[in-house]
Amino acid sequence: MRLCAVVPSYRHVSQLPPLSRRLVELCDLVLIVDDGNAEPACSELAALHDPAGRIEVLRLDANAGKGVAVLTGFREAIARGFTHALQIDADGQHDVEDVPRFIAAALARPDALICGQAVYDESVPKARKIGRWITHVWVWIETASLDIADSMCGFRLYPLTPVARVIARTRIGSRMDFDTEMAVHMHWRGVPAVNLPTKVIYPPDNVSNFEMLADNVRISKMHTRLALQAPFRLIGKLWMSVVR
């Protein structure tokens, strides 16, 4: 397994130096994607660029959204021949010390999408927790299964061969709809999901990029798209399992 870490960053810089140093101990390359940050964050991110140390910063000229940033990292990893990509947030919400567990799970199931299943403490906003459960239920309907325990957690380890197939043929949500839509499309293509419980926190000084109205509208539109496609996708998945 050749493993690349992909870390999208927009308005989150302070946690990146220790995060990237730890990731480079665990992964073959760390790709930080600067999602159109303004100064001084732009220069702070650029200062982390260290190809000799296996930490590289990719710069998007304008803020394009988490989904675009992650896919930029995935495409770069695929072009360089990596087999797997670890996705982790830049703001310190995810426990980097759980990365070895994700790697172990991927080594045991190299064909699977290793999904973080968020375990929250009391810092999680109640509205966000309720909203996540609504999405979980929709995903269970769209996949006709309980295979994906948490489709919204941005802490994952992806096999890149099926990722390349999905992004070559499908337009995936560019912002906060990305994680869920990607997980559902991977499931429809027969990629198994392995769910790993992992602690997720909301630091008191954290800057949230979630736009309450706009992102909820995007997520609602996404579920409409997925629900309309689901019967046809599931029939296709069943047919492929029969012909195999």
Domain coordinates in residue numbering, the chain: 3-243
pLDDT of 238: 66
Q: What's 153-179 look like in SS3?
A: CCCEEEEHHHHHHHHHHCCCCCCCCHH
CA distance 60 to 38: 11
Task: State residue 234 phi and psi, 5-degree precision.
Answer: -70, -35
- In a 13 Å sphere around the CA of 148, the CA atoms on its Cβ side amount to 32
Tokens of 60: 């998007």
What pLDDT is attached to residue 40?
95
- Please give the structure tokens belonging to residue 28: 């073959």
Q: Which amino acid is at 65?
A: G
CA 193 to chain centre: 13
Query: Concatenated DSSP letters for 23-54?
Result: HHHHSSEEEEEEESPPTTHHHHHHTT-BGGGT
Phi, psi of 197 (to 5 degrees): -60, 135
Q: What pairing do the DSSP bridges indicate for beta strands 84-87 and 156-159? A: antiparallel
Going residue by residue through the chain (244 aa), what tens digit of pLDDT does each one get?
A: 999 999 999 988 888 999 999 999 999 999 999 999 999 999 999 999 999 999 999 999 999 999 999 999 999 999 999 999 999 999 888 999 999 999 999 999 999 999 999 998 766 656 666 677 888 888 999 998 999 999 989 999 999 999 999 999 898 988 888 999 999 999 999 999 999 999 988 766 666 666 666 777 888 888 888 888 888 777 766 666 665 5
Task: Find out if CATH 3.90.550.10 is the number for domain 3-243.
Answer: yes
Pairing of strands 29-35, 55-60: parallel
Measured distance CA(161)–CA(153) in Å, rounded? 21
Give residue 229's pLDDT. 83
H or E stretch covering 101: helix 99-108
For position 127, what pLDDT does the model report?
A: 60
